[in-house]
Amino acid sequence: DTGVSQDPRHKITKRGQNVTFRCDPISEHNRLYWYRQTLGQGPEFLTYFQNEAQLEKSRLLSDRFSAERPKGSFSTLEIQRTEQGDSAMYLCASSLALAVADTQYFGPGTRLTVL
């Protein structure tokens, strides 16, 4: 059983650098989500894809953030000109959209530390 995978698991970078994270969803899942989690908080929604189309972006996602899902399979999240406030756990989740139910399965996350 292959779940959602994320790479890298940890990333330490200096302020002002660009970083890119990758998410591989569960095979055949057509929806893919990115969330951000900071210490002591629950995950907060960032953006969502249905197949390759990015359908919604949170106001949390500044212009420095961009996400893609080019072939409707894996996704990347890029943060340009990182700031210390970007330090967080970045979570990816995927689901198979059905008429009623949409259950999201989460990956292990990428922990970003901006020095």
Partner 1 sequence: AQSVSQHNHHVILSEAASLELGCNYSYGGTVNLFWYVQYPGQHLQLLLKYFSGDPLVKGIKGFEAEFIKSKFSFNLRKPSVQWSDTAEYFCAVSPTDSWGKLQFGAGTQVVVTP
End-to-end CA distance of the chain: 36
Return the number of the residue (5 or 80) whose C-beta is nearest partner 1. Answer: 5
Q: How far is CA 93 from CA 12, 13, 16, 61, 80, in A?
A: 22, 24, 27, 17, 22
Number of residues that bind partner 1 (CB under 8 A): 27
Exactly one of 107, 110, 112, 114 binds partner 1 (CB under 8 A); which one? 107
How many residues make up the chain in this entry?
115
Q: How far is the CB of 61 from partner 1 (least distance, A)?
A: 13
84 three-class SS: helix
Match 């530390």 to its residue by tokens: 113
| Nearest to partner 1 of 19, 109 (CB atom) | 109
- Give the contact letters, 11-40, x = binds to partner 1 (CB under 8 A), - = no: --------------------x-x-x----x
Binding of residue 115 to partner 1 (CB under 8 A) = no
